Chains A and B, each alone.
Chain A
Amino acid sequence: MTFYMAISNGSWGGTMRIVDVHGHIGNWGFPMRCSTVNHLVDFMMRCGIERTIVSHSLAITYDFVEGNRKLAEAIEDQDGVWGYLVLNPHYVQRSLVELDRYRDNPKFIGVKLHPEQQGYRLMHRNVLEILERVSELRLPVLVHTFPGQIDGLCQAAKEFPDVKFIMGHMGGNDWVAGIEAAAQRRNIWLEPCSSFPDAGKISQAIDTVGVERLLFGSDSTLLNPAFIWGMLRDAGLSQDDLQQIAWKNAADVFHF
C-alpha cells in the first residue's frame, strides 16, 4: 500500500467533528466551478466537515445588502451551513439596518468585515459605530487581516473587550506578528487559512496563544479545505488538541 493510499480512505478528518469558521459561497474572478451552496455542501460531505460558517462573495466584493440577501436565501434550508452578515463601514446606516434585519434570523451567527476588499481601516469612527451595535448583539466578528489590519484589529479588540474577534488569515504573510498581537488580547482567536501553508505556523500559534484560541477556517470555496487541514495535520498535534481546534473552540465562540 502506498503512502497516499494509506491516508486516502474516507474523509481526511476521520471521525473528528469539524467546524469551518471561514467559508464563502458565490463566484470569484477565478476559474473554478465550486461556487454555490450545493457545491459547498457536497465538498463538506466529501471532507467530513459538519458545519461551515460562510459569507457571500457578492457581499464582500460589490453589494453587501444584496449579498447578504442571497446568502440568507441560499442557507435557509441547509442544516450544516451558517452565515456571517457582511457589513460595510462606508455605509454605516445601511449596515445598522442590516444588523436589525437579520438579528432574529437564527442562521446568521456572526459578522464579517473585509477591510481589504472594501477599502477601509478598522480604527475609523464608522467601524467603531458598527462595532458598538455588534457588541450589543453579542455577535462574533471575523476580520480579514491580509495585508495589514493587525494593529487595527488589536485596537478594536481593546475598545470592545466583550466582542469575540477572529483574526482571519492570522495576518497573512505577517502571521508571526499576527500571533504575537493576538497573544496580547484575550478576545482574539486565530484562524490560519492562507494561500501559503508555511510549516511551523500552527505550532507557533499554539505555543504563543494556546490551543484554546485557534480555530479551523479554510476560506472555502476560494480555497480547498484540505489545503488548510494539511497544516493542522502536519503540526504534530494530539487528537485532543486537533479536536479542540476543529470543533470545541468554534462551538464555544458561536455557542453551537
Chain B
Amino acid sequence: MIICPARVGGHQNSGVITDIAWLASQYNVRFLITGIYYGNLAEAIAAAQRRENIFFETHLLNSPDGFEVMVEQVGSKRLLYGSSSPLHSVNSSLLPLINASIQQDERDDILYGNIQRELGWNNAHR
C-alpha cells in the first residue's frame, strides 16, 4: 500500500474528489486527499463512505464543526493532520483540531496515530 497525495483545494474544484473516488475503485492504492474544506465536504464524505481506501489530510478543514462532522461521518482512522506549512500558518490547522469536540484518542489518531500506522512507524520514532 502507498499513499497518494491529490490536491483538491480551491472554490472551483467540484468533482475532483469524485474523480479520485473512481480511481480508488480501480486501484488497490490508498489515496490521501488534501484540501478538503466546507465547500467540498459533502463530496468528500460521499466519496469516503463509498471507498475505504480514501483518506483525508486536514489543513483546510475549516468549518466550525468540521472535525466533529468528519469523525462522525468518516471516522477518525481516515483523517491525517497536515498544515501546509510554510505556505500556511501552522496554528490555523492545529487550533481547530485541538479545540474540536472529539475524543482524545480520535484526536491522537488524526495527529499522529494514523500516519504512524500507514507508514509502519513504531513508537521509537515518536
Question: Footprint of B on A, CB under 8 Å?
Answer: 4, 7-8, 12, 28, 30-34, 39, 43, 46-47, 195-199, 220-231, 233-235
* Least distance between B114 CB and chain A CB atoms (Å): 15
Instruction: List 10 A–B pairs whose Cβ atoms lie within 8 Å, in order of A's numbering.
Output: A12-B95, A12-B98, A30-B42, A31-B45, A32-B63, A199-B88, A220-B64, A226-B92, A226-B95, A227-B92
Interface of A is mostly: loop
* A8 engages B98 (CB within 8 Å): yes
Complex alpha-carbon distance, A234 and B89, angstroms: 6
Q: Contacts A30-B39, A33-B68, A226-B99 hold; do A234 and B63 have CB atoms under 8 A apart?
A: no
Question: Footprint of A on B, CB under 8 Å?
Answer: 9, 11, 37-39, 41-42, 45, 60, 62-66, 68-69, 73, 85-99, 111
* Least distance between B87 CB and chain A CB atoms (Å): 6
Interface of B is mostly: helix
* A222 engages B91 (CB within 8 Å): no
Closest to A8 in B: B98
* B89 engages A195 (CB within 8 Å): no
* B64 engages A224 (CB within 8 Å): yes
Q: Contacts A195-B37, A222-B38 hold; do A233 and B64 have CB atoms under 8 A apart?
A: no
Q: Which one of B9, B64, B86, B92 lies within 8 Å of A230 (CB-CB)?
A: B92
Complex alpha-carbon distance, A46 and B101, angstroms: 10
